[in-house]
Amino acid sequence: MSSTAPATEAMACRLGKQQRRRLAAFDFDHTIVAQNTDTVVRDLLPPEVVSSRTLNELVENDCWTEYMSEVFRLLHVQQVTEARIRDTIRVIPEVPGFVRLIKHLHKKLNFDMIIISDSNSVFIEEWVKAYNMADCFVAIFTNPAEFDSNGQLQVRPHHQQSECKLSASNLCKGRVLEHFVIEQDLRRSIRYDHVFYVGDGNNDICPVLRQRACDFACARQGFAMEKHLIRNRNKLKLRAQLLVWKSGFDLMEQMLALPQMQVPPVDLQTAEGHAEMARRASAVAGPSKQTN
């Protein structure tokens, strides 16, 4: 009987339960959808209300969540119904090719996918449902919202933070992404070989600066994220590989051409994965000592 066998078997068991996967994290406005969902709904208000001093002061003070709360209050005052707001969201067009990209990553390449957005849960869930993509995402991180009993849309900040100067006070996307990856590892034994972060704006800078060298920062061409990364790449010390995309079709073509996409992640729940983990665990434990 080997004295190191129990330790070897325990290690193999722990490692054998681990899954290796790929993750794609998406911004929403101007990334998946072609417009800003907040401003599309805001523009249901009369122009003179949109340009009012009250709303302008909230924008100037960088209080976007408070700004949208006031917009939703004014929409209610103007008797803009829940049904009209939902209808308006559903007809926002996609960025060309993104529905196809997301469904391909989900169905054909078995990606885990999440959305991290400064929009709100009502808008995102309504649009995703309209395009039959609700089952494509394992999580959506955004400002929680709901219609109250009077029909007014209420929105709350996703969280409150002051540590990250690259992010708004109500949402640090880098923190959200980092916490999700850690939680997947600790709670579900899922580790991501590669993380693709797809965005367009300045608030998408923080998450890509937290990525590893094996990850991919996917920036929309001609938008703030790409301009900022290109202009300050050395200063920012971006470790992830940069992919610049024009459309979902373009991004899918670039992703499928990557060498990292030619071989599927090692799923350590397979028989081969168990055998490989047992071999590694045995090597870590060293030669077994036989007893008489």
Pairing of the two strands 190-199 and 241-245: unpaired
Mind spelling out the 3-state secondary structure of the chain? CCCCHHHHHHHHHHHHCCEEEEEEEECCECCCECCCHHHHHHCCCCHHHHCCHHHHHHHHCCCHHHHHHHHHHHHHHCCCCHHHHHHHHHCCCECCCHHHHHHHHHHCCCCEEEEEEEEEHHHHHHHHHHCCCHHHCCEEEEECEEECCCCCEEECCCCCCCCCCCCECCECHHHHHHHHHHHHHHHHCEEEEEEEEEECCHHHHHHHHCCCCCCEEEEECCCHHHHHHHHCHHHHCCCCEEEEECCHHHHHHHHHCCHHHCCCCCCCCCHHHHHHHHHHHHHHHCCCCCCC
Whether 29 is catalytic: yes
Distance, CA of 116 to CA of 25 (rounded, Å): 7
Whether 118 has a binding-site annotation, put simply, is: yes
Whether 204 is catalytic: no
Whether 267 has a binding-site annotation, put simply, is: no
Active site residue: 27, 112, 204, 215, which one? 27
Active site residue: 29, 112, 204, 215, which one? 29
Instruction: List binding-site positions for Mg(2+).
Output: 27, 29, 200
Instruction: List binding-site positions.
Output: 27, 29, 38, 118, 200
Instruction: List binding-site positions for substrate.
Output: 38, 118
Residues involved in catalysis: 27, 29
